[in-house]
Amino acid sequence: MADLERRLREWQAAGLITAEQAEAIAAFEAQAERRRVSLRNLLIYLGAFFILTGLCLTVANLDIAKLWEAMPPWSLVLAPPRLSDGLR
């Protein structure tokens, strides 16, 4: 952004653009800069997407009924009554 400001000052000094035009260009570029997605953010979003997808697929492949049956009886004390009523 500093390079753009330097160039705008040069153009204004050379009479190519007016002060109002320089301000308009700087405002437009500032808005465009805020809308851009950086590579860092893109990689973070993609990484989070793939991690969540992997977790969802892992949980979807778990056989919850077998896990529940494999639990020792004493551990059912920790489960809420509504969960443990119809499963044993």
Token pair 């301000």: residue = 23
CA–CA gap between residue 18 and residue 14 (Å, rounded): 10
Q: Output the pTM of the full model.
A: 0.41
pLDDT in tens, 16-65: 999 999 999 999 988 877 777 788 888 999 999 999 998 888 887 777 77
Ordered DSSP codes for 15-62: TSS-HHHHHHHHHHHHHHHHHPPPHHHHHHHHHHHHHHHHHHHHHHHS
Confidence of residue 70 (pLDDT cuts 50, 70, 90): confident
Task: Calculate the CA 78 to chain-centre distance.
Answer: 35
pLDDT attached to residue 30? 86
CA–CA gap between residue 10 and residue 29 (Å, rounded): 17
pLDDT attached to residue 25? 93
